């Protein structure tokens, strides 16, 4: 575990309760398996599992689930210096139904949960300033005091010259309305150097326009953006920068649970960027890095839950030979 981790991930850490059988509603599920989750925490574990160094900053409840999650981060060599325990709120829970195609529906227990109560004065700003990459999402922008803490953490990163990575990770049920979600996600859009979004999020942020149309995607490119990545599940991803754009194929697998696939993809690309920012200028090497990231995402959908399914570097290397160009 590194004292000066290369990638610091900020946001929520929670427990996903996933039905033991696919294709049923929450009401019909006979039982649930608990799986650690929360997109930024998944990314932190994903990076560490790939051999990189990462930290997580956020808050859990001073409860059994909070201790369990902290232990899981430590077991996976994630720096937890910035992880806090709140005595007055519980660790967040999400019940996640898996449809028969492996896609998900969510029901959250957060009223409020500990992750929403992180305050600016509690931040480990040194951890952020010494990082190479600061990665965050949009869920921590929904309520105070966490919103103010989030904005302060991202500002500390930018002021210190740290590369800022953003995956909005749209979860509509958590926002007051669709318009609130759109406004919230876009409120910090122009502060990011690298943005990863899914095809559905392109459509959502552009009010229903075609996510496969390059002209639509290019509307989301802001003047300081170094790289925009659009993930397309089994079909791989598209990339856009000022100098070049293109598409990189994915690895075809049988999906069991798509939870964490996007986070594994982010871990895959950030783990490589952290060791070499010049990837952003070299299309050939960027394509290789994205092929690696696509395999990270693909391998994650072959198992239930996010963190348990995140691959090791060796597993990714073993599967790279099977990628469709």
Quick check: is 230 in a domain?
Answer: yes
**How many structural domains comprise the chain?**
1
∠ CA 118-222-191 to the nearest 5 degrees?
Answer: 25
Residue 102: per-residue pLDDT: 66
Quick check: is 61 in a domain?
Answer: yes
Quick check: is 232 in a domain?
Answer: yes
pTM for this one? 0.95
Helix, strand, coil share (%) of the chain residues, nearest 5: 40, 20, 40
Residue 324: per-residue pLDDT: 64
Residue 98: per-residue pLDDT: 74
∠ CA 107-108-110 to the nearest 5 degrees?
Answer: 160
Quick check: is 301 in a domain?
Answer: yes
Quick check: is 208 in a domain?
Answer: yes
Beta strands 7-10 and 54-61, pairing class: parallel
Quick check: is 294 in a domain?
Answer: yes
CB-based contact 15:93 (threshold 8 Å): yes
Residue 303: per-residue pLDDT: 87
Quick check: is 20 in a domain?
Answer: no
Residue 280, domain extent: 7-11+39-90+119-323
Tell me the pLDDT tens digit for each residue of 26-47: 888 999 989 898 999 999 999 9
Residue 7: per-residue pLDDT: 98
H helical segments located in the chain: 39-49, 64-75, 125-129, 146-159, 178-187, 199-205, 214-218, 261-273, 283-300, 313-319
Query: Which residues of the chain, if any, have pLDDT below 70?
Result: 1-2, 102, 324-325
Q: Which residue has the tokens 């691959």?
A: 311
- CATH of residue 161's domain is 3.40.1190.20
Residue 103: per-residue pLDDT: 72
Tell me the pLDDT tens digit for each residue of 259-287: 899 999 999 999 999 999 999 999 999 99
Residue 112: per-residue pLDDT: 93
Residue 209: per-residue pLDDT: 96
Give the residue from 195, 296, 202, 284 showing the smallest Cα distance to 250.
296
Quick check: is 33 in a domain?
Answer: no
């Amino acid at each position: 575990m590194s004292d000066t981790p290369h990638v610091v991930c900020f946001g929520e850490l929670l427990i996903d309760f996933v039905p033991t059988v696919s294709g049923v509603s929450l009401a019909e599920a006979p039982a649930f398996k608990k799986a650690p989750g929360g997109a930024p925490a998944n990314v932190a574990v994903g990076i560490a599992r790939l051999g990189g160094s990462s930290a997580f900053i956020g808050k859990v409840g001073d409860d059994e689930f909070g201790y369990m999650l902290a232990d899981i981060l430590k077991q996976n060599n994630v720096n937890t210096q910035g992880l806090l325990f709140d005595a007055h709120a519980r660790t967040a829970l999400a019940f996640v139904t898996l449809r028969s195609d492996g896609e998900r529906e969510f029901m959250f227990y957060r009223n409020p949960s500990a992750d929403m109560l992180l305050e600016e004065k509690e931040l480990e700003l040194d951890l952020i300033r010494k990082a190479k990459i600061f990665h965050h999402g949009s869920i921590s922008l929904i309520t105070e005091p966490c919103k103010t803490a989030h904005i302060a953490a991202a500002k500390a990163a930018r002021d210190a010259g740290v590369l800022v990575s953003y995956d909005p990770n749209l979860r509509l049920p958590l926002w007051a309305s669709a318009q609130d979600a759109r406004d919230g996600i876009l409120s910090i859009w122009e502060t990011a150097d690298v943005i990863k979004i899914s095809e559905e999020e392109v459509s959502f942020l552009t009010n229903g326009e075609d996510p496969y149309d390059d002209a639509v995607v290019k509307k989301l490119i802001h003047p300081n953006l170094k790289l925009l990545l659009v993930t397309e599940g089994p079909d791989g991803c598209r990339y856009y920068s000022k100098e070049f754009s293109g598409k990189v194929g994915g690895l075809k697998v049988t999906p069991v649970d798509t939870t964490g696939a996007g986070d594994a993809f982010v871990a895959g690309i950030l783990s490589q960027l952290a060791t070499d920012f010049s990837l952003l200028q070299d299309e050939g090497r960027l394509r290789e890095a994205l092929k690696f990231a696509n395999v990270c995402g693909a391998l994650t959908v072959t198992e239930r839950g996010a963190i348990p399914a995140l691959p090791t570097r060796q597993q990714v290397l073993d599967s790279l030979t099977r990628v469709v160009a």
